[in-house]
Structure 1
Amino acid sequence: MGDLYALDFDGVICDSCGESSLSAVKAAKLRWPSLFEGMDSATEHWTVDQMYTVRPVVETGYENLLLVRLLLEMKVPSIRTSSVAEGLTVEGILENWSKIKPVIMEEWGESRDALIDLFGKVRDEWMENDLATWIGANRFYPGVPDALKFASSRIYIVTTKQSRFADALLRELAGVSIPPERIYGLGTGPKVEVLKQLQKKPEHEGLTLNFVEDRLATLKNVIKEHELDGWNLYLGDWGYNTTKEREEAANIPRIRMLGLSDFTKKLK
């Protein structure tokens, strides 16, 4: 009957870490200008470099702002306001982000919605003022644009990224047009709920259901939902995950590890 693929975007289709880190620094400068007073460019570059290492903890884009500020507080004692920054390491962030995040949100008096709005606004302005540079700060994983263009499977994008950014990148960078109703972005509900919606659509009856994700935590959430037992679950080993997470996934019977070349072949 054929296949349906629900694909995460960041870390499966697109390596957006460069763009999201730079956007987060731009947004952090607007949100907390005093942090950056007298900040040298070397410290700023260090922060962007470290963002590549801590990227696996990000579930939703606004968390990049929190990470930028936390990394700066770790590096520069004079601007430190959070109780967790002293002695914290990048490894510590990778291990304990789910515990650290609510603490710093409260200590800094931040709201999720306000940070989401700011992050989206900064990206919109960057795209409006200099689309080529914004596009250029992203890259698609090798072979993925062609695999999407020539896919014989039914493709859906299921992402925590705002839909307009995923759509712009697909069109401008990959030359791929995916109908907007097949892009489920931020605000369409948790991924487990989107998967439930997709499997209930009458036109999907008889299709083999596949979900490709780079976050182990998301796949574990799917496993908890018995209603979603019919999905094949794949963890992309080229995305934003750690060696430790890949080792854990290899021991979970429901999850299959997937390499990039096998992924592109499956779509075609």
Structure 2
Amino acid sequence: MGDLYALDFDGVLCDSCGESSLSAVKAAKIRWPSLFNGVESSLEEWIVDQMHVVRPVVETGYENLLLVRLLLEIQLPSIRKSSVAAGLTVEEILENWTKLKPVIMNEWNENRDELIELFGKVRDEWLEKDFSSWIGANRLYPGVSDALKFASSKVYIVTTKQSRFADALLQQLAGVTLPSDRIYGLGMGFVYLSLMVTQNIGSIYYLVSF
């Protein structure tokens, strides 16, 4: 009988903020092309910088698209469609995101599943067209690779990231290949909970990011 570790991915094993922010800008341009007409590169760079600040509020990847658009509306009054953007600060986004998100989803008439699909598609296309730069936009935290390679307990990944992306990063950055049934990603529900409790294990340890 041994212990089992269920690890979150983003914020625990991997700093993916750079990749997710750049992917979100790419996806936002596809979702709302007219809003980005004439947007200068300096403003895009500002948005990416601010995405690093607001990253802690993101629970699921598609929220990055919402944050990109909200930051754009904060800076460009002429394109505003939401009632919350005027005068909104980054600090207020951090404090009130759970209240802001349903408001902008409704006012922008957005669909969660469509945003998830688009965000995944943009990442897939980047990965396929320029694998090295996609990998390079992510980094593992110090010590993660060795900890996974030499773990004496069974390790599972439980993440809101789509599992194929977590798997690719583990292989390329950590040199670790986990069986597919030990990576539980977005859309896989809570199957992992029933799996864990039916195994003959000593203790289960969860490590998640907040």
Q: Which band: TM-score by shorter chain?
A: over 0.9
> How far off its partner does 1:167 sit?
0.4
Match of 2:194? 197
Q: Does 1:25 align with 2:20?
A: no
| TM-score, normalization by structure 1 | 0.76
Residue identity opposite 1:203 in structure 2: N
**Deviations for 1:189-234, whole angstroms, at most 9, x for unmatched residues?**
1xxx456324322333xx221000112xxxxxxxxxxxxxxxxxxx
Question: 8 Å contact 1:158–1:194 — kept in the other structure?
Answer: no
Distance, in Å, in 2 between the alignment partners of 1:24 and 1:78 is 22
Match of 1:137 in 2: 137
Partner of 1:83: 83
* CA distance in 2: counterparts of 1:53 and 1:108, whole angstroms: 23
| CA pair 125-195 structure 1, distance change in 2 beyond 3 A | closer
Counterpart-to-counterpart distance in 1, 2:9 and 2:61: 12
Q: Which structure would you say has the larger RCO, counting Cα contacts within 8 Å and 6 or more residues apart?
A: 2
Q: Name the residue aligned to 1:40.
A: 40
Structure 1 residue 166, shift from structure 2 partner? 0.3
User: In the aligned structure 2, how far is the partner of 1:194 from the partner of 1:151?
Assistant: 23
In structure 2, distance between residues paired with 1:50 and 1:70: 11
1:212 counterpart = 2:207: yes
- State the distance in 2 between where 1:158 and 1:122 align: 22
Query: What's 2:147 paired with?
Result: 147
Q: Distance in 2 between matches of 1:23 and 1:72?
A: 15
Distance 2:196 2:135 in 1: 33
Instruction: Provide the secondary structure at the position in 2 that maps to 1:202.
Output: coil
Deviations 1:3-36 (A, max 9, x none): 2110000000000000000000000000001111
> How many pairs does the alignment contain?
210
Post-superposition offset of 1:124: 0.4
Provide the secondary structure at the position in 2 that maps to 1:173. Answer: helix
Residues 86-139 of structure 1, C-alpha deviations (whole Å, 9 max, x = no match): 011111111111111011011111100000000000000000000000000000
Q: 2 CA distance for matches of 1:122 and 1:202?
A: 37
List aligned pairs for 1:1-268, cutoff 5 A: 1-189=1-189, 193-194=190-191, 196-204=193-201, 207-215=202-210
State the identity as a percent: 72
SS, match of residue 110 in structure 1: coil
TM-score normalised to the size of structure 2?
Answer: 0.97
Query: 1:119 is matched by which residue type in structure 2?
Result: F
Partner residue in 2 for 1:230: none
Name the aligned partner's letter for residue 214 of structure 1. S
* Runs of at least 5 residues in structure 2 that lack an aligned partner in the other structure: none
Distance 2:128 2:200 in 1: 38
Give distance in 2, aligned partners of 1:13 and 1:97: 24
Any gaps of 5 or more consecutive residues in structure 1?
A: 216-268
